[in-house]
Each structure stands twice: as structure tokens, then as C-alpha cells.
Amino acid sequence: MIARILFATTMLVSAYAGAAMAAEADATGSVTLGEMVVTAQKRAEKLQDVPISMEVISGAKLAAYSTNDFKQMVKFAPNVSVESTAGNDVIYIRGFGSPPANFSFDQSVSLYIDGIYAGKNRQAQSPFFDLERVEVLRGPQGALFGKNTPAGAVSIVSAGPTSTPEGEVTASYNFELQGTEITGHVAGPISDTLSARLAVRFVDQDGYIENRFNGADDPSNKLALARLTLRYAPTETFDFTLKAEYGDREVKGGMNVSSPLTTSQQPHEYRYSTVNPIGAEGTKATSWMVSGTGNLQLGEFTLTSISGYSFFRSNIVNNFDQTLPAGGTTRNSVYNSFPEHFRQWSQELRLLSPTGKKFEYVVGAYIDTARYQLTQLGGFDINSPGVLVYFGLLNTEFRQQSSSYSVFGQGTYHVTDALRLMGSLRYTSTDKRAIFYGRLRYGPFALRPVNTVAVGDINNEDNWDPSGTIQYDVAPQIMVYATYGRGSKSGGFVSNTYGTTSATFKYRPEKSENYEAGIKSTLADGRVVLNVSVYDTKFKNLQVSVYNPTISTYQTGNAASASSKGVEGTAAWYPMKGLDFTLSAAYQDAKYDDYPGAACLVTQPITACNPAVPASIAANNIKGAPLTYTSKVSYNFAGHYRIEMPGDMVIDTNASLYGRSKYFDSDNQSPLFGRQKAYTKFDARVSYGPADDHWHVAVTGKNLGDKKTTGSAFNLPFPITATPRAILYLEETRSVAIEAGVKF
């Protein structure tokens, strides 16, 4: 199938190339595509030369749409999604990701910020500011990125110092969120050998959900970020770049709303969240991320060192929308909090061979160590009819130390000028040790066991991740490739499930295997870009954590196997100066191939699976069920037009249409409260200013159709609450902002 699709696509592109090049002879003017340079293979290469299915979003495009977080970024990358919950936001690629319910999960889609691995959500408070680009790599990237990338990787590259002095300040006011956002930077040389860049961002905005208890708009957001970059280049053969980023964030309120269990999702823009005795609802987090990158030329070779330090301390306090409580009570019945503390140190060394040789290669080694602490406090004021009255507080503590090291290499052999063979291999060894204990702080509680202790070790867990690629230039600007690769993610421990014991503490490592073929083409003298890839990805021991509302707990472990098959494509057209269009789309079929011991699905009759009976769950297998948070179809269509006006002024317009087909966003895959309907959203931006971009004013609109969509859903059951209901995590609704900026 892959071969047939690839062959048909090659014929189509080749035929189109001839027609487009013939039409080019009659075209006037000269419009070429500025090739994006990426570092997906640890070298600076043109995007169209890299045999990987990937999307690259420039910092300018992210800024044009006021993209501030992953949820907004992924609209530019089909087959990529984000699950939003009160605990974590988790990235999924081709249907695979690590659920946020178990806080200690390393992510299957790894995030790298300026080369530093960030496997925890709050290592980067808001990474999308003052960027050069974001590279989204689909499929296993086990060889060169290595650290826990069985599903893919997202590499964020921040902007660096400049050779000439420059600065910029941009301020905006969001009418719906009733608040401001200010970003800015200054950059330039300090001396002949030292240059610098200082970037800052400040946000002070209200939320988009009315809290009818206190009149606030949840979740409000206050954010302060600063990133200092210093580049020292005393000679032509050595340079060193130091980047230090500080983030401080405070979110007040939550983003969950109630909805019926017996109907399709009905998210409202209001909630009723009251007080609780363990703290105000919201998130407070402080983070540091420091990286030092040095490059030394050793003749024709380049030795690169990347040192990293990452730290965060945070606390999340969750309430759950109650609807209006009877009797006018002013205390939430269910609440929890998750104080976290994390530190990580890492070091990578790479040696790059010179380019232009018959055989080119990169070899390296990587090591990291980390400490992670998580406290969980779960409060309950249960006063449900027919149930004993419970008032109490549960507590769990989790402590983990981890370390890993790996060695890796990739080689490219140029058989001819058009044919290249690539092979890579990474070996990784991981050690972890952890302890967990749970207790009842006060009050009676009989709904689940809580006073438990667990201890576990993972020693010398070995993983081998190879890959191989054939790459062939069928024409000067048309390249086809076929690749095989494996990825892996280390095992770990259950961090925040009440009742955990040593017998249920550990879960196994997950492994992925991917077959992929694709074509990348640049046609019509750079005016047209067409890229298509097809893939078949399989996971073994996929790490999962799903909520069982009947016993009100999470089931964390491994699904035996799962797979995703699909096709991804990107097209870009540059018909004339100042005008361009891009279309990205993907189709996927992601499902469990074998999942014994799975939690019950809503669609299963109780005779097939009883969620209250452990033996029934143990015998349950949901083979063939779709993966949660996975749409069959996702897409983005964007257009940009720069209109030249009298007096050397310009109007710059951007419009983006993006959407997904329906998907389940509840663990039990309820076809009613747990399914998000298909949707299409529309963003637009219009700016006005001089042609040299010295200043500008702009209006930006997001989700202008005001589509109400949810990031995740679950059933808040009886007797935890007297009124069973669905809890939906409402994503941002329509917003319009006015912006002004100046460059100097």
C-alpha cells in the first residue's frame, strides 16, 4: 500500500512539475521560496532535504497569530494534538502520547528547548515567545534525539543575538480576556567577541469562564518571563552560547465546567467553583532553564557540547464545577492539589564530520540525572443521599531519582550524487528508584484503600533504537525516501494513585516501530512545495493511565500493543510577491491491537465488563477500540497577503482555517459526554504599518466562530458527588485583541 501511494504521488508531482515549470516561462517577476533551515538531524539542513515527516513553524508565523502555548501551536501541525486537563497539557502525535493522570510519566512526545530535554510540563512555563522556529518531528526519533521519543519530538529554537543592534516592543489588549500582554527584546554586539539578547514577556489577563460563586473570570493568568542569551565567539573556530530563562506564573481559577452524562457535550461558559481548605484554586509555578552550547572546529570536524540545567517548583489546586449547590453551601465537595519539585542536569557531546564527503556521520554521548518530588492532597466533603457523611483529607507522597546515559551515531553514505543510504543507532541505559506512601490525614474514608507503601527500583534498563533510511533524488528538486525506525521510553512508577502498593507500583518500558515513506518536492522555481508521507507505527507495552469512575481511581500500566496508520501532506503555493497559501492535512487510523486488563468502556455491557469487579476488568480486552484523543482527519489552511499602499505603507493580512474530525476525549470513550464533535475554527489578523516594519498596529482574532470545544472529559460519580455529571475542560473561546509594536 505504501509503495503504491508513494508511486502515484511521485507521478502526480512529476506531471505537475512539468506543467508548473512550463507556466513559469510566462510568469513575470521573481518569487522564490526562502528555504527553512532546520536541525532535525543535528546539522543545519534545508527542510526539503530532511527525510522526516515534519512541520516547521517560524517564529514570525507564531507571533502573527499570537501563539502562546502548545494548544494554539498544534493547529499548524495536523496529526498533532494536545490534551488539556487540570494537571498537565500533553502532546499527542499520530495518536500516541502519555496521559497526564500519572504525573511521573515521561512523555512519549519529547520536548526539547534549545537542545535541552524537557519531559515535564512545567519545565517551560510558556516557551512560545521570541522564537526562531519550532520543529515538529512525527514518528520515533530514538537515534538522534533519543531521550524518550517513541512517538515524536518537538524542538523549540529561541532567537539568538544579532550582529547589529536591534530592539522591539509589542503590546496588546485582549477585549474578551480583559487584559494585556507585553513582549520585547533588545539584541546586538557588546564587543567584537561578545553579543547578547534579552527577551521579556508579561501577561496579565482574565479568563473566559464566568465563576458564578465569586464573579471572577476563570482562569485568569499572570505571567512573567525573561530570557538572557550571551554568545561569545573569540575566534572563527570556537563559539559558546549561554541561555538562561526564568518563568513565574500564577493562574487563578480552573477551566472545567459541568455537563450532563446523558447527552452530547454541552460546555457552558460558566461554572460554580467555591472555596476549599487546602488553598485557592489555580496554579503557581516558578521555573529556571539554563543551557550552554559550545562549538569547536577541529579541522574539518565540529565538536559540540550542550550542558543543561532545569528546575521548577509548582502547586496545582483543583476544584470541580459543582453547579449551584443545594442549601447555598460555600465549600467545594471535591478538591485536590499537587505540589511538585523537580531538578535535572544533562550533558551531551557530539562530533560532526565534514559535509560534502562520500561518508558523513555524527556520533555522540548523552547523560542526565533528575530528582522529582510530588505531593498529592485529596479533600472530600461528601454528603450524598444514602451514603455515610465523609469529611477528610487524603495524602500521598512520591519521591524519584533517575539517571540515564546513552551513546549514539548516524552515518550517511552517498552511493551516487542522487542516492543516499543512512543508518543510525542509539543505546540507552536507565536507572530509577522511587518510593510512594499514602495515608489518611484526617476523617473516615471507606471508598478505597489509602494507607499503603510502595518501593521500586529499575536497574540498568537497556534499550536499543536503530533506524535506516534510503533517500533518492528523482529530480533536482524532488526527493523520495523510505525509512524504518524504532523508539523507546523507559519504564517508571505510579506516582499519584491512591491504594498503590509495591505489586502495582511499576510499569514497563514502551517501544515503538515505524515504517514510513515520503516525497518532498519544490517546484515551479520555488513557487510550489508538495510533501506527502505515509506511515505505519506500532507500539508495544504502551504506557496508559485511565480513570475508572465506578471505583473513583486511575488504572495505570501498559497496553499490550497499539498501532496507527495514515498519510500526511503539506502543500504551499507562492503565486506572486506578497501572496502565499499553505495547506496541511492528515488522515490516521489509530487503535489498540491488544489491550487485556483494560478499564471498561461505556459501550461495553456490564455482562462483558463490570467496572466494580477487578476480575472482570482483568479479563477485559478492548482490542480494536480507537485510541483516545485521536481524530481520523485533521487539517490547516492558511493564507497570507501583503498589500502595498501609497506612501510606502503596507497592509498585512493572515487567515487560518483549522479543524479535526470527531474524537473521544474521555477515557471510557462515552459516545455522549466523552466525545468531542468535529469542528473547524477560524483565526485572522490584519496589521498596518510602513514597509520597513518599523512600527505596526494590528487586530488579531482567534476562534472567531466561537466554537466551544473540550480538551478532555470525565465522569464525576456518585457518591463523590450527590449529582453525578460530566466534567469538561473547556478550551479557549472567541477572543479579539488589538496590538501595537515598534522596532528600533
Reported as a single tens digit per residue, the pLDDT across 293-308 is 999 999 999 999 999 9
What pLDDT, on the 0 to 100 scale, is given for residue 31? 38
Cα Rg, the chain, nearest whole Å: 26
> Which of 26-40, 202-216, 365-379 shows the lowest per-residue confidence on average (mean pLDDT)?
26-40
The whole-angstrom separation of Cα 543 and Cα 545 is 7
Which class is domain 2-743? mainly beta
pLDDT surpassing 60 at residue 27? no
pLDDT of residue 9: 39
For the range 423-427, what are the long-range contacts, defined as Cβ-Cβ under 8 Å and sequence gap of 24 or more? 423/466, 423/467, 423/468, 423/469, 424/143, 424/144, 424/466, 424/467, 424/468, 425/143, 425/464, 425/465, 425/466, 425/467, 426/142, 426/143, 426/144, 426/146, 426/464, 426/465, 427/462, 427/463, 427/464
Question: Residue 314: its pLDDT value, please?
Answer: 95
Which pLDDT band, with edges at 50, 70 and 90, does 723 fall under? confident
Q: Which of 199, 179, 202 is nearest to 188 (CA)?
A: 199
| Cell numbers that stand for 79 in this block | 496529526
Question: In the chain, where are the structural domains located?
Answer: 2-743
pLDDT bucket at 75, cuts 50 / 70 / 90: confident
Lowest-pLDDT range, 66-70, 172-176, 217-221?
66-70
Name 667's Cβ contacts closer than 8 Å, sequence gap at least 6. Answer: 99, 546, 547, 599, 628, 674, 714
Q: Mind spelling out the 3-state secondary structure of 491-536?
A: CEECCCCCCCCHHHCEECCEEEEEEEEEEEEEEHHHCEEEEEEEEE
Start-to-end C-alpha separation, the chain: 55
User: Cα separation of 90 and 87, whole Å?
Assistant: 10
Alpha carbons 698 and 8: distance in angstroms, whole number? 44
- The answer to whether 188 and 195 have CB atoms below 8 angstroms apart is yes
Q: How confident is the model at residue 388 (pLDDT cuts 50, 70, 90)?
A: low
- What integer is the mean pLDDT of 194-219? 96
User: What percent of the chain stands above pLDDT 90?
Assistant: 72
Position 591 pLDDT exceeds 80: yes
Residue 641 has pLDDT above 90, yes or no: yes
Mean per-residue pLDDT, 522-541: 94
Query: Scanning the structure block, which residue is given the C-alpha cell 501511494?
Result: 5
**Inter-residue contact 641 to 653 (CB < 8 Å):** yes
Nearest CA among 112, 83, 78 for reference residue 97 = 83
Strand 217-218 to strand 679-690: parallel, antiparallel, or no bridges (unpaired)? unpaired
- Residue-by-residue DSSP string for 66-79: T--SHHHHGGGSTT
> What average pLDDT does range 93-109 have in this prediction?
90
Q: Residues 570, 584: contact at Cβ < 8 Å?
A: yes
Average pLDDT, the chain: 89
Query: 334 pLDDT exceeds 80?
Result: yes
